[in-house]
Structure 1
């Protein structure tokens, strides 16, 4: 262990150096505080400073304060030598940064005992530093893995501009962590029908993301991949598209609330008949969509059913909207309206409705982009507490 002694008394300095070197330590010496400070800055591997209180040019208290101001990964243990015995003096030394005191004239047994304490503290700190570095490395690796998982999850989202005849789809996805519990999609079911869903798994982070990814696999519109939105048949047209209520009930059977985690999810799923513009949807504990027609905003606050997985055999109700050219619809997760700013106020349903009413957006794409921008400005520097997603479409 490399030790620095700052002592202007030559006899004390020589005695301490002799014993410390005999006990196997590397010793640096200084006869005043300024010289000691120079050595401390030159040698980054000093673990212990033994300093006298009274020294020329810079005393022990001043040296202690400078040492405690150093930005180093490891703690420098400080033993202060002094003939002072008043409690107020000891307190002043401790406040300056000293870890221990040895009274003059020196008692070799006391000095050796304090040295052992310093060695023990130094070894413990070295172990803690090593463990901290290991934890830091593990954290970085975990963060890297989470970011990779987030990229995989985002790859499950729809194309930025899905090509659906007669429809202008739009969506936004904002996770509060590397991975999210929200998931959405908008897609062709067949040449006559379009499907759209959005879901929000309770909780955040990896556990919620794992369930949302599993759900995205189940909610595929491709019958050959075992999805529940489109079933295979053995006769023409070789598939059938289950009603929205049946989809919700199937999910409820397959994904009961987990006893250990208590996880469940809210869900909105709708089917648009591309020929007549009828949008039939079901919602399970999910906020109702916003339907805008000729600057008139329709909300859906009642109806629906409980979140998926809460009850064994819940009752779900379907709702329908007759859409015409220029009408648009937006579904969202509750993280949107529950976004808080730095003062703790929520964005809320009222601000969302004001935007739709006064901005007179021409369609879902413009509305979703502008709403997201307003929510981010509202939150300011405060990080998002929840995932936030929107999906919708405008009828040509």
Structure 2
């Protein structure tokens, strides 16, 4: 709106002066661009002290998703690891909510560290008393700390080393560097994945991207073990991303990946794959199966079907143009994708674990938990426990929940 002279009126009545909360968060924002990674900890401790907080701890999720391990740093309180499943820190991590634990004359607060919707870990701080202003400021501070950790992670090994609670193979290092965030949540859809064995995974991988209303998902399992498998998986993921970003359809994605593996490794090497596209506005699902186990369809907290489809040869074998299958999902439907290492593992006594037991355990976990991330973690860990910790092949789980609707309300200020 302009006045008769064509000028815009001043924003009368809008207070643009800097308040306490803006100053608190602004110091981090202003200094973050050039801040060395090892100075994040002392600055966060100083910022928390301004609101009366002390004993700051930053706990990061380990690669097995079992523990929350302390990040060392000047100004931080560094104790032992805390269990994801059975601790106040773990509760904050799993529920994405602040957990407050009364202590003698004080309160210990556990705030989830979220980069977007991906779980990084937990920030813990002690205050003598807590009001709503403290909760709001500390929640936003925790979000900013998570973003800084993720940004600075590209420049340092410090956070990687803190998260690693066991020696990691070279192949696993390669695979973890390929992965997107382990989880993503928007109003219309949520995804989460997990890889086992976390410190020795080689050929399994997954990838996803949300481009507008289209969610792209791929599950990959390169033959073999060790560096050979990791190298093939790297080429497969690179070829998949290249064609996905060129807006090609699923059959063309398959053909390009097939040529890439064949030309690089020869006809005696292959990668099984499953590529999907889901329209998160309509629920229209399309997929191509290249020698992969069929995903499970979960509805009303139980496995109700397998997404059977014509299969083509694994990529690298020069298969014919694949059939693109299609299905319309209902709001609330979930897709459980997994690699064959999950069902072909031998139990004690020699029997294969099998799909029947996978379905049984999936239904059992779904009766106990609802959150997508928690279901993936609990299912992977329960199956590993049933196998008495044995994982002779990579075993990967990826879960998608489609909800429908839109996210327009997130772009409105009021």
Q: Could you tell me the TM-score, scaled by structure 2's length? A: 0.52
Q: Cα gap change, 1:149/1:347 in structure 2, threshold over 3 Å: closer, same or farther?
A: closer
Q: Structure 1 residue 257: deviation in Å?
A: 7.7
Among 184, 187, 198, the alignment partner of 2:209 is 187
1:180 deviates by 0.6
CA distance in structure 2 between the aligned counterparts of 1:179 and 1:348, rounded to whole angstroms: 21
**2:327 paired with 1:306:** no
Query: 1:293 matched to which residue of 2?
Result: 299
| 1:368 is aligned to 2:376 | yes
What are the equivalent positions in structure 2 for 1:129-278 lying under 5 Å apart?
A: 147-175=169-197, 178-188=200-210, 190-220=211-241, 227-231=242-246, 241-256=247-262, 262-278=268-284
Q: CA deviation at 1:356?
A: 3.2
Gap change, CA 1:151 and 1:296, over 3 Å in 2: closer
Q: Which has the larger radius of gyration?
A: 1
Shift of 1:194: 0.8
In structure 1, list runs of 5 or more residues that go unmatched. Answer: 1-143, 221-226, 232-240
In the alignment, the residues of structure 2 paired with residue 389 and residue 332 of structure 1 have an alpha-carbon distance, to the nearest angstrom, of 5
* 1:145 to 1:209, Cα distance in 2 relative to 1, 3 A: farther
Q: Secondary structure at the match of 2:268?
A: coil
TM-superposed CA distance for 1:394, in Å, is 0.9
* Residue 250 (structure 1) shift: 1.7
Q: Relative to structure 1, is the Cα distance of residues 363 and 147 closer, same or farther in structure 2, using a 3 angstrom cutoff?
A: same
Counterpart-to-counterpart distance in 2, 1:215 and 1:203: 14
Point out where structure 2 has 5 or more consecutive residues left out of the alignment. Answer: 1-165, 404-414
Paired with 2:350 and 2:170, the residues of 1 have a C-alpha distance of: 32
**Is residue 2:400 matched to residue 1:393?**
yes
- Alignment partner, residue 384 of structure 1: 391
CA change 1:213–1:319 in 2 (3 A) is same
How many equivalent pairs are there? 235
Shift of 1:259: 7.0
Query: How well do the aligned residues superpose, as a CA RMSD in angstroms?
Result: 2.6
Report the CA distance between 1:371 and its aligned residue: 2.1
Residue by residue over 1:151-187, the C-alpha shift from the partner in whole angstroms, topping out at 9 and shown as x without a partner, is 3421321213224441111111113873410110122
Q: For residues 112-147 of structure 1, what are the alpha-carbon distances to aligned partners after superposition, in whole Å with 9 as ceiling and x for unaligned?
A: xxxxxxxxxxxxxxxxxxxxxxxxxxxxxxxx9973
| SS state at 2:229 partner | helix
Distance 1:149 1:394 in 2: 30
Between the aligned partners of 1:363 and 1:328, the Cα distance in structure 2 is 11
Judged with a 3 Å threshold, the aligned counterparts in structure 2 of structure 1 residues 260 and 192 are, in CA distance, closer, same or farther, namely closer
Secondary structure of the 1:266 match is strand
Task: Confirm or deny: 8 A CA contact 2:277 2:286 kept in the other structure.
Answer: yes
* 1:346 paired to 2:364: no
2: distance between equivalents of 1:335 and 1:278? 29
TM-score if structure 1 supplies the norm length? 0.54
Which ranges of 4 or more aligned residues in structure 1 deviate by more than 6 Å? 257-261
